[in-house]
A and B are shown apart, each in its own frame.
Chain A
Amino acid sequence: MTEPTALLLLPRLRVQNANAISGPLSWGFPSPTAFTGFVHALERQFTSVLEKGFAGVGIVCHDFEPQISQPAGKRTQVFRLTRNPVGKDGSTQALVEEGRTHMEVSLVIAVRDYLPARKGREFADDAMTVVHGMRIAGGSILPKREGRRFDAQWWPLEEDLEGQRLLLRKFRRRLLPGFALVERPDRLAERLSELRERQPDACALDALLDLTRLNFDPDMPDPEKPGELRWGIRRKPGWLVPIPVGYAALSPLYAAEEVANSRDDSTPFRFVESLYSLGEWVSPHRLTDLNQLLWYSEADSAKGIYRCINRYSQAMETATTGIA
């Protein structure tokens, strides 16, 4: 794999009515697969300019306004739905629950091809124009606002590590205020081994649920009554969220056209289920390495795993060992 040579920043894209239910267990911010898919679609528009293509996408959210409402006297929230035009006999159409959200995101796209600075800037502008005719997670992208900070930016990367680190230091300021979505499988594994000490048959799902819900525990010593514990909400090590990161196979890989009514008759087909992982929202100023930010899609058709990968935890380890 060639290393990226430049970054393309699509700042502050406002998206309207994006899909807010991307997995069977959770709702909220669209899955990273929506963004890797979006970037892939963008890449395919520029096959004549780019030979090597893109090397990943960083997802930074600045604003998130899900279309939900809180019913009176309840603790759960419900989605605001849409009423669609009446059917052919004049009766109301069945309501299909959909989750929608408005959001403002910045996308950081790593580009593998080398382009001279001026061509790079031209490419960035072209890409921005194309982006505004596309959709992200099913939502329409609202027109670009006026101002230079909303223009697409082209950031050539330095060759040496030190230069890259300085560049990233400058670059990450463009992503503030906001939160970058990263993956934290290490926290999940850590929690799982902690759970297994008390509960040997615990599985990864237990750990995921344990980390993403509100836990009310007697875990703090009570200052007024020594020897007793006080109940309190367990603090989490970060803003941890469950995220659907891709798909795992449920069936063998069928040849193209073997399954009726598939979406495309020239692509092999497989039944899949959602894969979940643990994500964390981190402020971009904490990022020290580009690899912490980027998401890639990865397919292992032999094992039947099609998923997005983010190397936040690995990159963090190498960064700290580098310092020590």
Chain B
Amino acid sequence: MAKNDLKTASVLAFERKLDPSDALFSAGAWEDRKNGAQWPAVEVREKSIRGTISNRLKTKEQDPAKLDASIQAPNLQTVDVATLPNNADTLRVRFTLRVLGGAGVPSACNNADYQEQLHAVVQQYIGEIGFSELAYRYASNLANARFLWRNRIGAESIEVQIRHLEEGNVTKEWVFDAHRLSLREFGAPDTVAKQLEQLAAVVEMGLSSRSHVLLEIIAYARVGDGQEVYPSQELILDRGDKRGQKSKTLYTVGEVAGMHSQKIGNAIRTIDTWYADTIDLGPIAVEPYGSVTSQGKAYRQPKQKTDFYNLLDNWVLKKQAPEKGHQHFVMATLIRGGVFGEKE
């Protein structure tokens, strides 16, 4: 078969190679961090509040009499809330991260020629560039506690403990002060650079080897006694009758407040600084179209040929390797996983 006959496989899927668990919340005192494993769990409770009408009104509703009537009507709502207890100032967030080997190997592919070519491309990347840059960035996102999302904001101090587990034993442990690391760029001050590189080396080992690497990540965030903490919110389309419906449901695992594994995963893969408008935004999550949900915008448009599919097709089918940053991006998308087959 001539080389230019090569077509993208119609079935092409990759498993995610960074597999985080759900993050579970517990609470305690900052000084008592060494007993963190015994801390009581943070629970989600329900509260009902009498709110006011404060939404923007349509022009036709701005008749004063009508407005008065509608503003006087209470806006009752029931929501879920999670807070630290009144005698605990620190949130403990624990999850585990499994780094699986075999990055770039599809879990399903129905075209042997394509798979062979893809394998060649991946091997070329591993040989010439290697996973060290990606591993360093993933490690940074663990050390800087980006995965705490809103809980990170306003925290007085944050400590991240990362343990490398082998057969249940801790073989190596790192402790980071998350505030020392920037969220906007990758790189670390000299004091923590060495530790971060060691952690990155472990992640790299997981990505490139055949066996998997297991990391336990525990973050302590000092947010203040009784302060609200932010677990994931559930997406429920059908909330039922208006009466008695709950407008916010938070995620719990066996009555413990937690964060979805997907959300943790998104924070860890927030490493893409190779898109066009990097200066404004800093790193964004690795997504085929560089989409950022909070902005409602995608930064890697197919028009500019910087989206994953264009880059991958050029690289695998036409054998035009993109520039180094885009190569990192393509590999990071393969590590993220997904279904990338060609539509027919």
What is the interface of chain A, defined by CB distance below 8 A to chain B?
Answer: 16-17, 65, 67, 69-74, 78, 80-83, 85-91, 95, 102, 129, 132-133, 135, 140, 142-144, 146, 260-266
Contact = CB atoms under 8 A, between A and B. Distances in A.
Contacts of A102: 253
B291 A86 contact: yes
B264 to A, nearest CB: 11
Looking at B242, B244, B289, B344, the one whose CB has the most chain A CB atoms below 10 A away is B289
B293 A73 contact: no
Q: Which 3 pairs across A and B sit closest by C-beta, in order of nearness? A: A71-B240, A73-B241, A72-B240
Nearest to A17: B261
B298 A88 contact: yes
A85 B22 contact: no
B58 interface: no
Given A16-B22, A87-B291, A262-B11, A71 B98 contact: no
Secondary structure of the B contact surface, majority rule: loop
Interface stretch (B69-77, B104-112, B133-141, B272-280): B104-112
Interface string B230-274: 000011111111111110010001100000111000100000000
A265 B112 contact: yes
Nearest to A93: B291
A74 B298 contact: no
Secondary structure of the A contact surface, majority rule: loop
Contact of A16 (B108, B168, B261): B261
Given A69-B234, A85-B285, A86-B292, 14 more contacts: A17-B261, A65-B253, A69-B249, A71-B239, A71-B245, A78-B238, A83-B293, A132-B214, A140-B19, A140-B261, A144-B168, A260-B10, A265-B111, A266-B112
A261 B307 contact: no
Nearest to B19: A140
B79 to A, nearest CB: 13
Nearest to B169: A146
Given A133-B98, A264-B110, A90 B298 contact: yes
B154 interface: no
B43 interface: no
27 contacts: A16-B22, A65-B254, A69-B236, A71-B245, A72-B239, A72-B245, A73-B243, A73-B244, A81-B235, A82-B262, A83-B293, A86-B291, A87-B289, A87-B298, A88-B300, A90-B295, A90-B297, A90-B298, A91-B296, A95-B235, A102-B253, A132-B98, A140-B21, A143-B96, A260-B344, A264-B11, A264-B110
Nearest to B251: A80
A106 B141 CA distance: 34
Contacts of A16: 21-22, 261
B229 interface: no
